[in-house]
Amino acid sequence: MVPMALAAVLWFGETMNPVPLRNNKAAAANVRSVTVLGATGSIGDSTMDLLRGARDRYRVEALTGNSNVQGLAKLAREFNARFAAVADPARLSELREALAGTGIECGAGESAIIEAAAHPADWVMAAVSGAAGLKPALAAVDRGATVALANKECLVCAGDFFMERAAKAGACILPSDSEHNALFQALASGNRDELVRVIITASGGPFRTWAASDIEQATLAQALKHPNWSMGQKITIDSASMMNKGLEVIEAAYLFSLKPDEIDVLVHPQSIIHGMVEFSDRSVVAQLGAPDMRIPIAHCLGWPDRIKGPSARLDLAKIGQLTFEAPDFERFPGLRLAYEALRTGRGATTVFNAANEIAVAAFIGGKIKFGAIARLVEATIETWIRSSNLAPLRSADEAIAVDNNARNVAASLLPHVALKAS
Ligand code: NDP
Ligand code: MG
């Protein structure tokens, strides 16, 4: 029987995993080449920090950003990357200028980000924000790389198809989202047929104790004040609406091939326990750590071994108390919608993600109130289903087409939702 953790990366196909199993120290002895997609972001920053601390073990192949040319060039110079790319096609000359005399190749536009992912690195961090990360992540998957997946939206967008393609290419997907990394570690304690459920924890975000009427009116500044984690803007807003937890429920289902009823969410304001797995003997195995993304990323970077991490050691006596609450599906309807989309299937999670991306951008742009984010997602999914658009996704192109169409539907519903909210 294959242990669950391996089953996750093997897609239940025992022979497909190209990554050496535990205790094979050959991999650790070699210098590993790494690429970081989204190097200028929050996850990128944590990843580069880990790489900085282990220069003898890792060599940087390619780095990418969206428009932060100077930040990207600084990293490319520091790590002597072979290739650097920005997604904004208008920034190529600026990037060239910033890297002049270094010999570092550079590119711009979506195709250059995909090219960066296709460069021959052993390990790729997929940390672009949003569904824009799907094609680059697939480019790494298709050449059978080890992909540390932070970019949950690309998995929610492409669903089963992403994992099938990884299995076909012999790619290894290592979950680096903290909750999924916790599950990945805990699942190693048992087999698939012994699993009862997984539990992913949620801090509850800045509005955990707020009344629904106050959440409705929350400002951007309030939504960006996460109590525990320092993250990029989009995921911070998703955490405030608990859409992030919804995305993570879907992410867990696809990563580990779980049914919706096998995934529970537990609010845990201290963010110390990240995920737990309950087995048939009623043992519950948990992973703990400070709320520092360098911990799960270090696990992915070292896997199948463990590297020395720079994060603070966990001092539970100092923390004193760990508390737990049931999630509130009424004040945080995004979580309910995620379960519904997962149960509906046939592209519904793609629509859920696309509509949420449009809603978050509209909220940031001051076009809708905070409470309208979930309403827009719900209205988009309802319209999608009413128009008989549900159909199983058979390819990445189909997922991208559904994503684009759903964005158009969401955009067309925006004025209606904004009006309702005012
Ligand atoms: P950030 O916004 O901080 O960084 C996003 C990165 O992607 C930046 O490098 C950005 O470039 C780049 N980028 C943005 N848009 C595009 C595009 N269209 N094409 C190519 N590159 C683009 O996000 P985070 O680091 O917080 O999150 C990244 C992913 O990881 C998300 O999917 C998130 O859900 C997930 N994640 C994040 C966690 C966290 O703690 N931050 C925790 C768990 C998961 P530029 O800097 O130039 O704008
Ligand atoms: Mg998470």
Q: Which atom of ligand 1 is nearest to the CA of 152?
A: 32
Cα of 241 to ligand 2 centre, how many Å?
13
What does the alpha-carbon distance between residue 382 and residue 54 come to, in Å, rounded to a whole number?
A: 49
Residue 251: strand pairing partners: none
Cα of 42 to ligand 1 centre, how many Å?
7
Ligand 1: residues within 6 Å at CB?
38-44, 64-68, 87, 113, 127-129, 132, 150-153, 177, 229, 231-235, 293
pLDDT at 30: 83
Q: Is 92 part of any domain?
A: yes
**The pair of three-digit structure tokens given for residue 211, joined into one six-digit string:** 């009344």
| Single-letter residue type at 23 | N
Substitution site in 66, 200, 229, 299 for ligand 1 pocket (most atoms within 8 Å of beta carbon): 66
**What CATH number does the domain containing 117 carry?**
3.40.50.720
Q: Which atom of ligand 1 is nearest to the CA of 293?
A: 40
pLDDT at 152: 96
The residue range of the domain holding 97 is 31-175
Q: Give the ligand whose atoms come closest to the C-alpha of residue 238.
A: 1
Q: What is the mean pLDDT of residues 219-224?
A: 97
What does the alpha-carbon distance between residue 183 and residue 194 come to, in Å, rounded to a whole number?
A: 14
**The pair of three-digit structure tokens given for residue 382, joined into one six-digit string:** 């309802």
Confidence class of residue 4 from pLDDT cuts 50, 70 and 90?
very low
Q: How far is CA 195 from CA 3, 191, 269, 281, in A?
A: 11, 7, 26, 9
Residue nearest to atom 13 of ligand 1 (CA): 66
Cα of 110 to ligand 2 centre, how many Å?
26
Helices 396-421 and 160-169 cross at an angle (nearest 10°) of 150
Q: Cβ atoms within 10 A of the Cβ of 395, count? A: 11
* C-alpha atoms less than 13 angstroms from C-alpha of 332 in its C-beta half-sphere: 28
Q: What is the pLDDT of residues 90-135, one digit of tens each?
A: 999 999 999 999 999 999 999 999 999 999 999 999 999 999 999 9
Residue nearest to atom 18 of ligand 1 (CA): 132
| Single-letter residue type at 175 | P
DSSP strands (E only) in 301-398: none
Task: Determine if the peptide bond prior to 304 is cis (ω within 30°).
Answer: yes
Burial class of residue 187 in the structure, from the number of CB atoms within 10 Å of its CB (0-12 exposed, 13-18 middle, 19+ buried): buried
pLDDT at 47: 98
Q: What is the mean pLDDT of residues 321-329?
A: 98
Check: CB of residue 289 under 8 Å from CB of residue 12: no
Q: Three-state SS string across 88-112, please?
A: CHHHHHHHHHHCCCCCCEEEECHHH
Q: Is 61 part of any domain?
A: yes
Q: Is 68 part of any domain?
A: yes
Residue nearest to atom 32 of ligand 1 (CA): 151
Q: Is 72 part of any domain?
A: yes
Substitution site in 95, 235, 239 for ligand 1 pocket (most atoms within 8 Å of beta carbon): 235
pLDDT at 420: 63
| The total number of structural domains that make up the chain | 1
**What number of H helices and E strands is found in the chain?**
20, 11
**The pair of three-digit structure tokens given for residue 41, joined into one six-digit string:** 């972001």
What does the alpha-carbon distance between residue 298 and residue 312 come to, in Å, rounded to a whole number?
A: 13
Check: CB of residue 147 under 8 Å from CB of residue 174: yes
Q: What is the pLDDT of residues 167-176, one digit of tens each?
A: 999 999 999 9
Q: Is 126 part of any domain?
A: yes
**The pair of three-digit structure tokens given for residue 307, joined into one six-digit string:** 């590297």
User: Quick check: 17 pLDDT over 80?
Assistant: no
Q: Is 381 part of any domain?
A: no
Cα of 65 to ligand 2 centre, how many Å?
21
Q: How far is CA 154 from CA 53, 80, 350, in A?
A: 29, 29, 9
Cα of 229 to ligand 2 centre, how many Å?
10
Q: Is 51 part of any domain?
A: yes
Record the pTM: 0.94
Check: CB of residue 136 under 8 Å from CB of residue 161: no
Q: Which atom of ligand 1 is nearest to the CA of 44?
A: 25
Residue nearest to atom 9 of ligand 1 (CA): 38
Confidence class of residue 229 from pLDDT cuts 50, 70 and 90?
confident
Q: Is 137 part of any domain?
A: yes
**Phi and psi at residue 317, in whole multiples of 5°?**
-65, -40
Q: What is the pLDDT of residues 358-385, one digit of tens each?
A: 999 999 999 999 999 999 999 999 999 9
Helix (H) or strand (E) holding 213: helix 212-216
Who wins on pLDDT, 8 or 257? Answer: 257
